[in-house]
Amino acid sequence: MSEPGSGSTTVVAVLTYRRVGLLSGLLADLVAQAATVTPAATVLVVDNDPEGSAADVVLGWAERGVQYVHEPRPGISAARNRALTEAAHADALIFFDDDEQPCPGWLARIVAAWREWGCAAVAGPVGARLTVPVDPWILGTGVFDRPTRPTGTSVRGAGAGNLLLDLRRVRELGLRFDERLGLTGGEDTLFTHALVRAGSEIRWCDEAEALEHVPAERLTRRWVLRRCFRSAGSWSRAEVLLARGRAGRWRVRTSIVAKAAVRLLQALLALAGATLTGRVGARGRATGTLASYAGLVVGAFGWTVGEYARPQATALPSAVPEADRATSR
């Protein structure tokens, strides 16, 4: 793979689904930052609402170079794959969520890091912007604690909320986002783990920061536990799907179950201790751990929460049993 040069072209893709109120501010920031790299980046909005609710807002930015495409097929994987298709001419594609805001200098930093390192992907941190005072129990779970690492660190996988992909490498490998995971999430976990398994490198750029707007409806114990459960399940599901053959998948499952058994027992003891001593944050942390390791186990067997489920989509795809019927992967 040749190293990217200063003439490499970049597309910033925003996937959106019925968050029209957040788009104008985000597009203003992205258009301003698009001019800070050479050649100037292109901003692309992929509207995954079957009704195309974002069209009017996005088309208002057409004169500033913002492109709009409508992907009516439900599921975040379909939207991500549409972005890959639309960016086929580019050298790099950056995924950015519609509830995020780029920090000053974000685009220039993530593109410069990719050009310097020549790696297959660059991931950046996504901090949480909490809109209301938060229950200490919720803060204790750590759900809104975003990881930070030294810049340049290699990582095994990444979320796609702030992720640059070297499209030349993606095309060489023939990678796409698994549409069986479109309504459950975890498609980015599987994609980035597959990228690393193929011998490519994902590196971390701690200065390329984005902030996620967290609305009040997500600041509940129920939502937080659901997120703990779903995130862990996405990870284990990806590990199983990437294992080779039926025997390999069962080895991964056995390892996950053994590890989870120990951690679940430890979390139960921690929860009991926190309850007796009245430590609210510690109770949240222990309960979040229980939810995470429960999700880890069930994810390894193909079940997870329908993070992106929609009313018309009553059946969630189950990828792992299908993988078990394959002889190899």
pLDDT digits over 27-45, tens only?
999 999 999 999 999 999 9
pLDDT over 60 at 22, yes or no: yes
Instruction: Please compute the mean of the pLDDT values over residues 59-78 and round it to a whole number.
Output: 94
User: Which pLDDT band, with edges at 50, 70 and 90, does 317 fall under?
Assistant: very low
% of the chain beyond a pLDDT of 90 = 79
The predicted structure's pLDDT at residue 180: 86
Q: Which CATH class is domain 10-218?
A: alpha beta
pLDDT over 80 at 323, yes or no: no
Task: Provide CB contacts within 8 A for 85, sequence distance 6+.
Answer: none
Model pLDDT for residues 122-151, shown as the tens digit of each residue: 999 999 998 888 999 999 999 999 888 999
Cis peptide before 4 (omega within 30 of 0): no
The predicted structure's pLDDT at residue 303: 78
Residues pairing with 201 in the sheet: none
Model pLDDT for residues 246-271, shown as the tens digit of each residue: 999 999 999 999 999 999 999 999 99
User: Which pLDDT band, with edges at 50, 70 and 90, does 47 fall under?
Assistant: very high
In order, the DSSP letters of 224-276 are HHHHHHHHHHHHHHHHHHHS-HHHHHHHHHHHHHHHHHHHHHHHHHHHHHHHH
More confidently predicted of 186 and 153 = 153
User: Which pLDDT band, with edges at 50, 70 and 90, does 181 fall under?
Assistant: confident
What is the pTM assigned to this prediction?
0.88
Residues pairing with 165 in the sheet: 93, 121
